Copies of this chain bind each other. A is one copy, B any other.
Amino acid sequence: MRYQLFYWPGIQGRGEFVRLALEDAGAAYDDVARSNTGMDKMMAMMNGGADKRPPFAPPFLKAGKLVIAQAAEILFYFGPRLKLAPGDEAGRLWLHQLQLTVTDFVKEIHDTHHPIAGSLYYEDQMPEAKKFTHYFLKERVPKYLGYFETVLNKSGGPYLLGRKFSYVDLSLFQLIEGLRYAFPNAMTRIERKIPRVVAVRDKVAARPRIKVYLASERRLAFNESGIFRHYPELDD
């Protein structure tokens, strides 16, 4: 099965959680919207046309005839197929639950620079972004990362499922990388309390296929169009 991933070109964004799984598994895939005519294809699919089940927004994945949207659902779908999730129902549901918590966290990360409206520039909502981010760094980041630390404690580690590696470990890597990029000062402080989460990040960074991917052109750099943005005035 060769997958087709559809996501905005130029940013890592929510598509990156899917890319990391495809890359770690060595799966065959096209990053469609980054090809010459890819954006036209993506927009046509979003507008639905003859398709009875149009996605609301990217990322979405084409797997044979199936079109699946929402990063967490894409991971849920191909997790067992890519050997990045257990096959039993209870295990799959637990992983999906963790990934949906990642989804919730990612939305709040996005809102640090866009607390008022996605249609406004960051520069037009800076005072609100500062207020939002103050509480985000003080309350929300410790709460979310502390939760994953607790799960790692309970699983016995080194991974969220214990000995078994999964796609949520890859997402945890991406969260830490992105938060470090966006909020280097705050993260220095926060990371002291989440050693098991940081250890997952380190283990992921050392995985052979991930190392190759991160050094390749396929890995876009973090930038100020994405979800994780470095605006020094928002950092501690």
**Using a CB–CB distance below 8 Å, which chain A residues touch chain B?**
48, 51-56, 66, 68-70, 72-73, 77, 90, 93-94, 96-97, 100-101, 104, 107, 111, 115-117, 119-120, 128, 131-132, 135-136, 139, 147, 150-151, 154-155
Contacts and interface: CB of A to CB of B under 8 A. Distances in A.
A125 to B, nearest CB: 8
B139 A94 contact: no
Given A73-B96, A115-B115, A52 B154 contact: yes
A115 B133 CA distance: 11
Contact of A128 (B51, B70, B128, B150): B128
A54 B154 CA distance: 9
Given A70-B100, A72-B100, A52 B135 contact: no
Given A70-B100, A115-B132, 14 more contacts: A52-B154, A52-B155, A54-B150, A56-B147, A66-B90, A68-B93, A69-B97, A70-B101, A72-B100, A116-B128, A116-B132, A117-B131, A117-B139, A128-B128
A133 B104 CA distance: 20
A139 B70 CA distance: 21
Contacts of A101: 56, 70
Contacts of A131: 116-117, 128
A68 B89 CA distance: 11
B135 A116 contact: yes
A162 to B, nearest CB: 9
Contacts of A154: 48, 51-54
Contacts of A147: 56
B53 A73 contact: no
Contacts of A72: 100
A93 B53 CA distance: 11
Contacts of A151: 53-54
21 contacts: A51-B154, A52-B155, A53-B151, A54-B150, A54-B151, A66-B90, A68-B97, A69-B97, A73-B93, A73-B96, A77-B93, A107-B107, A115-B115, A115-B116, A116-B128, A116-B135, A117-B136, A117-B139, A119-B135, A119-B139, A120-B135
